[in-house]
Amino acid sequence: MSVVSETTLDAKVPSGPIEDKWEKHRFDMKLVAPNNKRKFDIVVVGTGLAGASAAATLAELGYNVTSLCIQDSPRRAHSIAAQGGINAAKNYPNDGDSVKRLFYDTVKGGDYRSREANVYRLAQVSGSIIDQCVAQGVPFAREYGGLLANRTFGGAQVSRTFYARGQTGQQLLLGAYGSLMRQVGHGKVKMFPRREMLDVVVVDGVARGVVARNLVTGEIESYAGHAVLLCTGGYGNAYYLSTNAKGCNVTAAWRAYKRGAYFANPCYTQIHPTCIPVSGDYQSKLTLMSESLRNDGRVWVPKDADDKRKPREIPEEDRDYYLERRYPAFGNMVPRDVASRAAKERCDAGYGVGSTGKSVYLDFKDAIARDGEDVIRQKYGNLFHMYQKITDEDPYHAPMRIYPAVHYTMGGLWVDYNLESTIPGMFVLGEANFSDHGANRLGASALMQGLADGYFVAPYTVGNHLASVKLPRVTTHHPAFQEAVVDARNHTEAMLKINGNRSVDSIHRELGHIMWDHCGMSRSDAGLREAIEKIRTLREEFWQNLKVLGAGETLNQNLEHAGRLADFLEFGELLAKDALEREESCGGHFREEYQTGENEARRDDENFCHVAAWQYNGEASEPTRHTEPLSFETVKLTQRSYK
């Protein structure tokens, strides 16, 4: 099962002090003159925060942009689901924040498995993101003096999270959407909704376009350009039950992987601690309660495992506020991986609450007594309303019940400092790449990364690519496009021809059980090996016994889901292999064999202080595991502690 590493990857990080790297690199990069930008066509796949901001900015600069949107409108991108806020080192509260502290918190929060230079750049441009969004009219909350309000998020001891009640992602997306549609109106962006990318087209070793399926007509279409930007989100739905929208998938990234893009750290999946617990087998997704709730909510379980009283009947002396007890310095605001494992440990030990015993309490009693119900309603009213609608429980008068669930994915396609993948000319932005969060993402950093990549990084690095490489004009009549169209059509027809007895949903649900049981909050050598074998068997079942209704050349959501599941079944095996090879615990990757005496993650910096990037070698061959060594020159490589 072991895979040999053949090469060491070059991240192309600029030399010099970390504070000066990005400024120096921006100056050293080649430029495209304003009157020449109109000569270049750029294909942007995805219209969430990363994709919408990148497409809008590139079009504003003068490039011709083709934008592919899997939804009927960019306003429906999953970025709207990010509720709690966006980080930035503005230090408005004057509580000790800085670019360096945001950088430090992010590196530490990722358990020292991220690339220092990328994280520092992210912290540097964070303030500009807020300025940009305010200029667009994003309605951030404000303090009494008029400054933008801030609150705390996990893994930080300062207040740096800007927010718009519990709708931050939606409001930020509307800002980017407005900028994008302005360019559509000017004719600089051609928008193609309801398109799903099925392949990336490589000509002479450079990405020159994509093949996509028109989800309304079923037609396979091609789009050519001088560069391709992949902004297609994460792969959390490999677990079937997750906080992601049902349309979120790994297909675009996986097809790019099969064309030569290395896939980095797929085992780094984030388990979010504040999710509404599973209610029954009928569920197809889970609902997230924003991490912002941990600012005022206190997490607890009964001290007595047999205490079945209603929560309001349990007095303070009989409650175990276990996060505050274990991590006094951070309390309820520890990072997500720490809070999730702690909740699992309490429930596994028999202290869980609710009918299933798979939940803990998130209680606002003290905050309401201190600040009043009106204040809490102003801060979190829409979140409380959503919780009550789903559970039929009033969180103003009884604590919420929460339990961890699959959320964000830190792994993704490998990119260098320019956000360029191992396929030259294909850039990967936002959650689709691996670069900024290491083994665990801090809350409120996803929106920050997506907008940083789209507004402030890719416009420079894509321009440098266009100015540095000779790119003769290529049309969709090129043989490489025709070959990719045939491959996509054959893949679709192969699924339609199976005509077995099992539904897509039943196989996906079974995959989800395998992934959650063996590749979820805790992993082990034996469990991962079992998962790999079970996934292989299930993949055979898929190709022998799948039932897809309908036809290919038409609207067919059953076929859409089958195509995504086929990729999840292949990707799930790679995730398990990556977890098996990484013989350490770090962040969201928790191997039971590698933990401290206090049940915390135990890293192995001597052998695993690197990025693992996997290269596809064909269906009949094992993938190759390459590495990118990680060096920590600015932040000291130490055991992470939030006590």
What is the per-residue pLDDT across 90-113, written as a single tens digit (0 to 9) for each?
Answer: 999 999 999 999 999 999 999 999
CA–CA distance, 31 with 36 (Å, rounded to integer) = 10
Is the pLDDT assigned to residue 269 strictly greater than 80? yes
The arithmetic mean of pLDDT across residues 302-308, rounded, is 96
- The mean pLDDT value for 578-582 works out to 98
Report the percent of the chain where pLDDT is more than 90: 96
Note the pLDDT of residue 548: 97
Distance (Å, whole) CA 272 – CA 259: 32
Which residue is catalytic, options 115, 195, 336, 625?
A: 336
Indicate if the pLDDT at residue 494 is higher than 80: yes
Distance CA 55, CA 179 (A): 9
The pLDDT value recorded for residue 178 is 97
Range 608-625 average pLDDT: 97
Q: Please state, as a whole number, how many other Cβ atoms lie within 10 Å of the Cβ of residue 389.
A: 9
| Centroid of chain to Cα 227 | 23
Mean pLDDT computed over 467-486: 97
Distance, CA of 282 to chain centre: 25
The pLDDT-based confidence of 3 (bands split at 50, 70, 90) is: low
Task: Say yes or no to pLDDT of 407 above 90.
Answer: yes
- C-alpha span between 216 and 72 (Å, rounded): 10
Of residues 64 and 166, more confidently modeled? 64
Let me know: does 18 contact 116? Beta carbons within 8 Å.
yes
For residues 527-549, average pLDDT = 98
319 catalytic per annotation:
no
451: burial class by Cβ within 10 Å (0-12, 13-18, 19+)?
buried
How many beta carbons lie within 10 A of that of residue 643, not counting itself? 10
pLDDT in tens, 311-370: 999 999 999 999 999 999 999 999 999 999 999 999 999 999 999 999 999 999 999 999
pLDDT in the model for residue 427: 98
Rounded to an integer, what distance in angstroms lies between the CA atom of residue 265 and that of residue 177? 31
In 3D space, the residue among 141, 91, 110 whose CA is nearest the CA of residue 443 turns out to be: 110
- For residues 159-167, give the mean pLDDT: 93
Q: How far, in whole angstroms, is CA 601 from its chain's centroid?
A: 21
Considering the entire predicted model, what is its pTM? Answer: 0.97
pLDDT at 390: 95
Is the model's pLDDT at 165 over the cut of 90? Answer: no
CA distance 537 to 186: 52
Q: What is the pLDDT of residue 609?
A: 98
Rounded CA-CA distance 530/556 in Å is 34
In this prediction, residue 5 has a pLDDT band, given cuts at 50, 70 and 90, of low
d(CA 381, CA 391) in angstroms, rounded, equals 15
Helices (H), 333-477: 336-348, 365-371, 373-391, 446-451, 458-468
Inter-residue contact 407 to 442 (CB < 8 Å) = no
- Percent of the chain surpassing pLDDT 70: 99
Q: How confident is the model at residue 417 (pLDDT cuts 50, 70, 90)?
A: very high
Task: Report whether pLDDT(261) > 60.
Answer: yes
Mean pLDDT for the stretch of residues 137-146:
94
Specify the pLDDT at position 7. Answer: 74
Q: Is the model's pLDDT at 149 over the cut of 60?
A: yes
pLDDT recorded at residue 216: 98
SS3 content of the chain, % helix, strand, coil (to 5): 40, 15, 40
